[in-house]
């Protein structure tokens, strides 16, 4: 529940980057507070995010649910495999 609350607070404060490509781009250029990935994210996406997060020393949280459930929590009508919190 703590992770869900943190995601929703970041969305309310407009401090969340939603989507794999956008999160990865933000991770490479900036330094987010946290990266959240869905449990069912494709393995190659997961490895790329983990590699870049390790280089930048950014924490990764695995959301205990599917990308569809993460999309619902974000208030989106589509799946969300990853998001970055500024």
**Residues 8-63 pLDDT 10s:** 999 999 999 999 999 999 999 999 999 999 999 999 999 999 999 999 899 999 99
**Residue 67's pLDDT band (cuts 50, 70, 90):** very high
**Residue 77's pLDDT band (cuts 50, 70, 90):** very high
User: What fold does the segment set 2-85 form as a domain?
Assistant: 60s Ribosomal Protein L30; Chain: A; (3.30.1330)
Rounded to whole angstroms, the Cα distance separating 36 from 13 reads: 17
This prediction has a pTM of 0.92
Q: Quick one: pLDDT at residue 5? A: 94
Closest listed residue to residue 69, CA positions, set 38, 42, 44 = 38
- Residue 60's DSSP bridge partners are 35
In the chain, where the domains are located: 2-85
């Amino acid at each position: 529940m703590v992770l869900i609350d943190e995601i929703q607070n970041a969305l309310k404060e407009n401090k969340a980057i939603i989507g794999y490509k956008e999160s990865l781009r933000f991770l490479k250029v900036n330094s987010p507070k946290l990266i959240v990935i869905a449990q069912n994210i494709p393995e190659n996406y997961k490895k790329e995010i983990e590699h870049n997060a390790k280089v930048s020393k950014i924490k990764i949280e695995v959301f205990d649910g599917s990308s569809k459930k993460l999309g619902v929590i974000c208030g989106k009508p589509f799946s969300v495999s990853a998001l970055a919190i500024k």
